[in-house]
């Protein structure tokens, strides 16, 4: 009788262990999945000189390594070092992996932007697996510099 009880206890421990492994394995895999899901091929602003209130186009070319939902936040820093945050984030839905995606986003500079050397800072937040809803992948891209011309 004693050995029968021990056998049932061991088999229930193995079942518990297997269930824990099945549940924990994807969570552990997702936790270590912190690699950049895209390779940036080119990133530029056109034109490189613009008047306050004028339009610039942000052009981006990437190769996807993983399908992810992406939210992009943009911050413009004008010639007087004033930060202008673009309120509407750019959201890109996941696409096929291995292909090259080209994005072209027109942006209007604030009419009050000060002339001088300016920069555009870009931060991408990506969700590639369920754990990224809590701990997203965040990429700070190098700033892109351009000139805001004096309207006078």
pLDDT of residue 28: 67
What DSSP state is assigned to residue 99? S
pLDDT of residue 6: 47
Helices (H), the chain: 2-32
Instruction: Enter the pTM of the model.
Output: 0.73
> What's the first-to-final CA gap in the chain, in angstroms?
98
| pLDDT values of the chain reduced to their tens digit, one per residue, 152 residues | 455 554 555 456 777 777 766 666 766 666 667 778 888 899 999 999 999 999 999 998 988 888 888 888 899 999 999 999 987 667 776 677 778 888 888 999 999 999 999 999 999 898 888 887 888 889 998 999 999 999 87
d(CA 62, CA 79): 29
pLDDT of residue 84: 94
Query: Residue 114 pairs with which residues in a beta bridge?
Result: none
Residue 39's contacts (CB-CB under 8 Å, 6 or more residues apart) are 62, 63, 65
């Amino acid at each position: 009788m004693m050995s029968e009880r021990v056998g049932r206890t061991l088999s229930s421990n193995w079942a518990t262990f297997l269930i824990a492994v099945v549940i924990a394995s994807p969570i552990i895999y997702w936790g270590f999945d912190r690699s950049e899901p895209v390779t940036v091929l080119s990133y530029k602003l056109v034109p490189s000189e613009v008047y306050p209130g004028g339009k610039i186009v942000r052009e981006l070319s990437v190769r996807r390594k993983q399908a992810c939902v992406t939210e992009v936040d943009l911050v413009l820093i004008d010639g007087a070092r004033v930060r202008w945050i673009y309120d509407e984030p750019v959201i890109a839905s996941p696409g096929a992996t291995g292909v090259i995606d080209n994005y072209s986003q027109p942006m209007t500079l604030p009419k009050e932007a000060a002339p001088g050397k300016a920069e555009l800072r870009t931060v991408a937040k990506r969700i590639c697996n369920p754990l990224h809803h809590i701990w997203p992948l965040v990429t700070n891209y190098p700033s892109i510099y351009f000139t805001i011309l004096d309207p006078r």
